Structure 1
Amino acid sequence: MVRIRKASQRGHADHGWLNTYHTFSFADYYDPAHMGFRALRVINEDRVQPAMGFPTHPHRDMEIISYVLEGALEHRDSMDNGSTIRPGEVQQMTAGTGITHSEFNHSASEGLHFLQIWILPAHNGLTPGYQQKYFAPDEKRGCLRLIASPDGREGSVTIHQDAHLFASLLEKGERVSHSLHPGRHAWLQIVRGEVTLNGQQLAAGDGAAISDEPTVALEGLTSAELLLFDLA
């Protein structure tokens, strides 16, 4: 079964400095039919204006992944981490027992476009942690590149949940597939371009919940970028 969540159905807020779309309920957007999928709780597509950002704020008991598409995201946190995340880089934070952090676009001229992803951890009260890794475009082109996993295999960032996150860059006509083991589920998020999922067409911003399907078959209809979550 494939249930498509169209980009136009997402929650939306334009705060001037921040233009954001919520795949699942978040902040002032509440939809009891879309509270998340399995352990996946948040996918926000954020566009931040130059010289603006999120001031210091707290998190706890959440696995947070930032996936930058355009611009540069500057990060500071209470674990004394300070970094800049650019396209191709994946940032992972374990909020655990509690952290505070800030996220800013310090460019005076360029916008920042990124995905903010939250995954519920398998256990609460974890020790906070931070990782940042770069995945070159060639690693994702024409394949499903593992970028986050419970065991950090293949150079992926480690998350504290039975969830595996893959990224892919497809050209028109390129195909990739992913086998879902019995009892597993998947969420597909289209980042750019257009693809087919098991024959159904999706475009940028669209998502899809996938259950009781042995295979996730994807084909680029245009040059496209996507994220695929394999979930318990």
Structure 2
Amino acid sequence: MTDMSAKSVASSVAKKAATSAHRLPKATILPHRSATRGHNDIGWLNTYHSFSFASWYNPKYNGFGSLRVLNEDRVQPNSGFPTHPHRDFEIFSYGISGELTHRDSLVKKGQEDGVNSDQFYRVSRGDVQFTTGGTGIAHSEYNEHKSDHVHFLQIWAVPWKRGLPPTYHTSHFSDESKREAADKGQFVPILSPLAAGPDATRAQETEAKPKLAGTIPIHADFGMGATLLAPEKTATWTVGLGQPGVVTEANKRKVFVHLPMTTKYKKAAGSARIRLDGRDDAILEEGDGAFVDIVNAGDKLTVESIGTAEAEVVVLDTA
């Protein structure tokens, strides 16, 4: 065998081995490094933008499917976002640490007695506060704590149609449930599409039944999940939220993976790192994200924890 043919055989074997190690050989996975995010620190707010937002614009990062905004925010004590309006976006906050107080525009401080969670809610770790902007809604988001900052993700998605009735939903997804899911190699589902779909009646909107029980309903062909992976653990995200019929568009789906900065701002030993689909060119550090494209419902995306600290992994599954 000539040197050239030996090299050819070796190359072929290496390619086959690499492909067999990947569950998604046709998918493209492109990391979005933390350093390539937009960043703005104005004192009371330290924010990172995975996609173009407010005063930061990058034509490479204008969204991914129906996903439009992913901001990783830290708000200092006794500060926050004053009352502001939203329209025609699905907006949700995912609590990482601290406490973010959501107030409907009609609820003033000191007047919370008898107010329901739609109008007043303190978002803590593991909580998700969800807003359908629809025809128009106004609220404030403040860190009312005297000494601790709040760390959360704010995420926006484009709904399947404009002019929806404004609504709020809140739910808690505990660390225990995420660790139990991780022990089984799974994610906890957090969002799934409204079961009644784009043509939902007012009664079905009020019922707010999601496609997957236990999740928050979103007006989009969209899903979200999270897990807490200890070092050397692996979890698998099944594209389309794992069951037939949950999403409308089964083909040409996209998954954005985000690894929040959960240890970089603590006095903790080690840091979180993950590897996607067994690919050494798809290793994420804290603050990094990744665009996973050319996948279909039912495909399996593996996430390995290869760092020295527990990895909190968020996945956003969209058409």
> Which amino acid in the other structure matches residue 229 of structure 1?
L
CA contact (8 A) 1:79 1:99 kept: no
* Structure number having the greater helix percentage: 2
Q: Distance in 1 between matches of 2:163 and 2:291?
A: 29
Q: Which residue of 2 aligns with 1:51?
A: 78
Q: Offset at 1:171?
A: 0.5
Q: Distance in 2 between matches of 1:186 and 1:219?
A: 16
Is 1:173 the counterpart of 2:232? The answer is yes
Is 1:225 the counterpart of 2:294? The answer is no
Q: Distance in 2 between matches of 1:100 and 1:203?
A: 36
Deviant stretches of 4+, over 4 Å: none
> Aligned to 1:229, what secondary structure does the other structure show?
strand
- Name which of structure 1's ranges 102-111 and 178-187 shifts more when overlaid on structure 2: 178-187
Q: Distance in 1 between matches of 2:67 and 2:164?
A: 18
Q: CA RMSD in A?
A: 1.3
Report the number of matched residues: 232
Q: Distance in 2 between matches of 1:182 and 1:95?
A: 28
Q: Which residue of 2 aligns with 1:92?
A: 130
For normalisation by structure 1, the TM-score amounts to: 0.96
Q: Offset at 1:79?
A: 7.2
Q: Offset at 1:77?
A: 1.5
Q: Distance in 2 between matches of 1:60 and 1:79?
A: 17
Q: Which residue of 2 aligns with 1:15?
A: 42
Q: Offset at 1:215?
A: 2.9
Q: Larger Rg: 1 or 2?
A: 2
Q: Distance in 2 between matches of 1:110 and 1:179?
A: 36
Is 1:187 the counterpart of 2:225? The answer is no
CA contact (8 A) 1:148 1:156 kept: yes
Q: Which residue of 1 aligns with 2:57?
A: 30
1:24-59 residue CA offsets vs partner (Å, 9 max, x unmatched) = 000000111111111000000111111000001111
Q: Distance in 2 between matches of 1:127 and 1:182?
A: 29
Q: Distance in 2 between matches of 1:4 and 1:156?
A: 28
Identity %: 42
Q: Which residue of 2 aligns with 1:160?
A: 219
For normalisation by structure 2, the TM-score amounts to: 0.71
Long gaps (5+) in structure 1: none
> Aligned to 2:55, what secondary structure does the other structure show?
coil
* Structure number having the greater strand percentage: 1
* Alignment match of 1:211 (pick from 290, 293, 299): 293
CA contact (8 A) 2:83 2:105 kept: no
> Which amino acid in the other structure matches residue 202 of structure 1?
L
> Aligned to 1:212, what secondary structure does the other structure show?
strand
